[in-house]
Structures are given as structure tokens and as C-alpha cells.
Copies of this chain bind each other. A is one copy, B any other.
Amino acid sequence: MLKELDPLLHSQLRLGVMSLLISVDSAEFTWLREKTNSTAGNLSVQLDKLSEAGYLSIEKSFKGKKPLTTCRITKKGLKAFEEYVNSLKDYIKT
């Protein structure tokens, strides 16, 4: 029987964000936006969802005088990501 896929991660943009975050210490909102090629609004919403789930932490500060949103994957997020990938493998092994 095929496993369930964490619906929070089974979304192109959120998965992209998590994927990017696992390979860096932290990432700025604007960088994530560029890398995922998403709109700011969509990214903002999806970051909130991941944050509320405890999959990433968001820190709001300033870079000079401009707002700066910094994201970091959490332990919980990493675990969820790994589990998701693991479940997904059943679906994509050809």
C-alpha cells in the first residue's frame, strides 16, 4: 500500500522552499523568492504555513533600513522532509 504524503510538503512551492533550506544555514526571503521563482505574496503565505507547522523558523529584522526576513529549517522540518522523501520514493521508483 502506498504511504500518505505529508500534504504540507506536497506542494511545489513549499517543497521547493524546504529543499533550498536543507542545503543552507539560513535564507533570506528575497533569495527564496528568486530561487523558487514565486511571487512575494505566494511565498509569504507558504512560509507562514511552514512556520506554523514548525517546519521552519522565521526571523524578522532589518538589513540597513530595509526589512529582512530570514528563514531556517527546524529539526522537525528536516525530519518531516526526510520522511516525505522516503514516502515519495515508493511512488517514483521506476
**Residues in A lying within 8 Å of B, measured CB to CB:** 1-2, 4-5, 7, 10, 12, 15-16, 19-20, 22, 35-37, 81-82, 85, 88, 90-92, 94
Contact = CB atoms under 8 A, between A and B. Distances in A.
Contacts of A82: 94
A81 B92 CA distance: 9
B91 A35 contact: no
A19 B35 contact: no
**Which 5 residue pairs are nearest across A and B when measured between Cβ atoms?**
A19-B91, A85-B92, A2-B16, A5-B12, A15-B91
Given A2-B16, A7-B12, 4 more contacts: A2-B35, A10-B10, A19-B90, A81-B94
